[in-house]
A and B are shown apart, each in its own frame.
Chain A
Amino acid sequence: MNAVTVFGIFAAVAVGLGLYGLITNPEPLRKIIGFNLLGSGVFLLFGVVGRRGAAAGIGNDPVPQALVITGVVVAFSATALAIALLMRLHQKGGPTTLGNGSPPSARSDPLGS
């Protein structure tokens, strides 16, 4: 049981935690946080596999590292788009939940859009 295996098991638990948070938290912002937790767990799994592939004087296999760097940036831009959608929904004056609440009505919005 070396440290890399411990990190791998932690990454698996982080994926489970993020998935649970994504499904059960009713607020969209908490769902976005859960999605980010899920993503960080998946990236750590890549890192664990890369660490086990250390060879030729390099401490961690560079190909999974490059994939994770790409993944972090893409996950951030997905989060930014999700937050922009959430802000727009908040501006329109609707409830910021994903429930089966009232459909968007045609009433006049005080914010003028």
Chain B
Amino acid sequence: MSIATVFEIVLAAVVLILGIWTIAVRETYSATVGFIAYGLLVALIWVRLDAVDVALTEAAISGGLGGVLLLGAAARLQDAELTATEAPSKVTRVSAALLSSLTAAALASAVLFLPDSPPTLAPTVAGHAWATSLANPVTNVLMAFRAMDTMLEKVVLLLAIIGVWSLAPDDAWGGRPGLRHQADPNDILVFLARLLPPVGIVAGIYIFWTGANHPGGAFQGGAILASMWLLTVMAGLTDTPPVSRRWLRFVLIAGPGLFLIVGLGGLWFGAAFLAYPPALAKPLILGIEVAMILTIAATLGLLLTGAPERSEGQ
């Protein structure tokens, strides 16, 4: 049993204890903080599983942006905690524990009895890398071999934004999401919001651009860009745009729209929907990814600021 295996077993044990604490702790705020720490440690597990792209996505989107979302909600709901006092009955708890244990046991036995010669698509992906001349196999799968999934995922993001915006009250319809943050010019948060975004924007664009040949990609880069924008909003340096602005809506549909146009181009001029001619594959994919990163950054940021709460004039 090598040192690496011991480290991985210890890591799994620590994350397990953290998960149990997150479920069992009494205050909601502590559970939120525990979940953020859990998300970051699970990103470490993903690195040990040799899936660095997924580790980046988990840390940035699930741990980082998801954590901010839950923290904001926990802070705003702190006074409402007193009204939620109905603990579930003993019968519910016992049957829920039974159901959870059965599910966990079934999945664990499935893991233990996986076939010895595992089926894999890695040789197929490696064999078809000539079609796109990109070196990162995950980007190949995301943008070329299963591009339909990625395009539909962008549409799902769009549907989520429409769902969130539809929750606006009547007098704030089409207005600005979230409350206005005040900024004292000598504040430390304002200092951070002036210093960090240039670095963060470069880091986000770098992670997006290097995703062609190394771990990275549009989702991870877009999450970093979204968080830089949110930092300036939280420090009060900028205000959220009114959701009725046409340019904002254009940015939101640019990603899936360009994807769809390229796909239809493949249908009319090429072999099939979303087929790229091998000579043009790399510029087409990078072009789609540029539109994608803008849409992803705008969508993730707007999902975090929530439903419109102020009317346009404010």
Question: Which A residues form the contact surface with B (CB < 8 A)?
Answer: 2-21, 23-27, 29-30, 32-34, 36-37, 40, 43-45, 47-63, 65-70, 72-81, 83-88, 90-91, 95-97, 99, 111-113
* Contact present for A52 and B15 (CB under 8 Å): no
Q: Which B residues lie within 8 Å of A32 (CB)?
A: 70
The answer for the CA separation of A80 and B230 in the assembled complex, in Å, is: 15
Q: In the complex, what's the smallest C-beta–C-beta distance from B258 to chain A, in angstroms?
A: 18
The answer for the CA separation of A86 and B86 in the assembled complex, in Å, is: 18
A to B contact number (C-beta, < 8 Å) = 288
- CB nearest to B99 among chain A residues: A19
A-contact 0/1 string along B18-44, CB 8 Å cutoff: 011011000010011001001100100
* Contact present for A54 and B66 (CB under 8 Å): no
- CB nearest to B165 among chain A residues: A84
Q: Which of A2, A34, A88 contacts B5 (CB 8 A)?
A: A2
Q: Is the C-beta of B153 less than 8 angstroms from some C-beta in chain A? A: yes
- CB nearest to A109 among chain B residues: B169
Stretch touching chain A among B105-113, B197-205, B263-271, B282-290: B105-113
* Contact present for A8 and B111 (CB under 8 Å): yes
* Contact present for B20 and A27 (CB under 8 Å): no
* Contact present for B51 and A51 (CB under 8 Å): yes
Q: Which A residues lie within 8 Å of B187 (CB)?
A: none
* Contact present for B5 and A73 (CB under 8 Å): no
Q: Is the C-beta of B76 less than 8 angstroms from some C-beta in chain A? A: yes
Give the interface centre of A20, A72, A73 by most chain B CB atoms within 10 Å.
A73
* Contact present for B306 and A84 (CB under 8 Å): yes
- CB nearest to B146 among chain A residues: A66
* Contact present for A16 and B104 (CB under 8 Å): yes
Q: Which B residues lie within 8 Å of A68 (CB)?
A: 51, 54, 57
- CB nearest to A85 among chain B residues: B167
- CB nearest to A93 among chain B residues: B80
* Contact present for A74 and B156 (CB under 8 Å): yes
The answer for the CA separation of A19 and B107 in the assembled complex, in Å, is: 13
The answer for the CA separation of A48 and B99 in the assembled complex, in Å, is: 23
| A/B interface sample: 30 pairs, CB < 8 A | A7-B8, A10-B12, A12-B103, A12-B107, A13-B108, A16-B107, A17-B20, A18-B23, A23-B99, A26-B88, A27-B28, A40-B38, A44-B49, A52-B120, A53-B122, A58-B122, A63-B125, A65-B54, A65-B138, A66-B141, A66-B149, A73-B219, A74-B153, A76-B303, A77-B156, A78-B160, A80-B164, A83-B73, A99-B86, A111-B169
